[in-house]
Amino acid sequence: MGGKQLGFSDYEQTTAKKLTKREKFLAEMEAVVPWQALIERIEPHYPKTSKKGGRPPYPLATMLRIHLLQQWYSLSDPAMEEALIEVPTMRRFAGIDLISDRIPDETTILTFRHLLEKHGLGEQIFETVKDHLSKRGMTMRQGTIVDATLIAAPSSTKNKAGKRDPEMHQTKKGNQWYFGMKVHIGVDKDTGLIHSVVTSAANVHDLTAAADLLHGDEDVTYGDAGYQGIEKRAEMAGKSVEFRVAMRPGKRRVLPDTPEGRLLELVEAAKAHIRAKVEHPFRVIKQQFGFQKTRLRGMTKNRCKVNVIAALTNLFLARR
């Protein structure tokens, strides 16, 4: 066999005519993430020089890109470091040139996440993305759909303290027990985008977080049967919002076959049709980005992560 053998990178360049699913996704995200605005939010907190005269810190843009890659592909810190070594597409997205640049190790990746948590930057990233979308005409003002979903947490006690995460709790849904936390979101009924997000332990009732999910300008709020009684709560006093909450399933099943019963059934179906919009962001969070179980302990870390994921979910839903 004559001719020289092709190395990996040569092979990539000669055959990569077809865009892979990952390349397509990252090209879309490259275009929709408001990079400059996010960098400006984080920059005041990002170290300019390294401690103890070591190597200079990595460019902030690279670390932010790596952090977002972690969320999109649900990667732990060591798995993220490996992906940067093994996956050229991810490396290119992060702006790392394998020949001349060092690749951030898992500790560097962890340190960046700690920086975001320490300065409440998860929430700021979420707000920055909301501003960015509203400047592009995607305002979230009319009506709100509220809902909550469970995110599992490791119930293992194989750790230093020998205990499960004390900030997580168990809750029963149907006949099954779940251990972890709840993510509560308020979604705009027209755009389907998340305008507010609250994290709590799994045993906190959906109603408890409901008031924090309303932005105050909505004229109508939709919720499933878990939000029955929302209008009677003290924090809702004096609010001019109309609540359209689902009837309890047991009650709906026994609606009589009378004109009134059929009308009520139609109303319930219409409410459900609007509420279905809240399932899109949850599908993106859990299926698209794979966030079904948290690796992080404690609410502060998880709040930061959930806010970043909510921001990325909005960008993903609005990418068209």
First-to-last CA distance in the chain?
49
Cβ-based neighbours of 33, under 8 Å, separated by 6 or more = 68, 315
DSSP string, 143-192: EEEEEEEEEE------STTSS--TT-EEEEETTEEEEEEEEEEEEETTT-
Residue of 105, 72, 106, 76 lying closest to 89 (CA atoms): 72
In which band, very low, low, confident or very high, does the pLDDT at 239 lie, cut at 50, 70 and 90?
confident
Residue-wise pLDDT tens digits, 125-165 = 999 999 999 999 887 778 999 999 999 998 777 667 678 88
- Are 57 and 297 in contact by the 8 Å Cβ rule? The answer is no
- Are 109 and 81 in contact by the 8 Å Cβ rule? The answer is yes
Q: Which of 14-18, 50-54, 145-149 has the highest mean pLDDT?
A: 145-149
pLDDT in the model for residue 154: 84
Q: What share of the chain is helix, strand, coil (3-state, %, to 5)?
A: 50, 15, 35
Two tokens at 184? 């509560």
How many whole angstroms separate alpha carbon 114 and alpha carbon 109?
9
How many whole angstroms separate alpha carbon 188 and alpha carbon 310?
13
Residue-wise pLDDT tens digits, 87-109 = 999 999 999 987 677 899 999 99
Residue of 231, 218, 228, 151 lying closest to 184 (CA atoms): 151
DSSP assignment letter at 295: -
pLDDT in the model for residue 8: 46
The model's pTM is: 0.89
Q: Mean pLDDT, the chain, as a whole number?
A: 89
Q: Which amino acid is at 67?
A: H
H or E stretch covering 197: strand 194-201
Does 113 have pLDDT greater than 90?
A: yes
In whole angstroms, how large is the CA radius of gyration of the chain?
23
Q: Which amino acid is at 195?
A: H
- Bridge partners of 179, per DSSP, are 170
In which band, very low, low, confident or very high, does the pLDDT at 6 lie, cut at 50, 70 and 90?
very low
Q: Does domain 140-298 have CATH number 3.30.420?
A: yes
More confident: 110 or 176: 110
In which band, very low, low, confident or very high, does the pLDDT at 17 lie, cut at 50, 70 and 90?
low
Two tokens at 118? 């320490």
Residue 320 CA neighbour count, 13 Å, CB half? 2
In which band, very low, low, confident or very high, does the pLDDT at 281 lie, cut at 50, 70 and 90?
very high
CB atoms within 10 A of CB 87: 14
Could you state, in order of their start, the residue ranges of all structural domains in the chain?
15-119, 140-298
Q: How many residues does the chain have?
A: 320
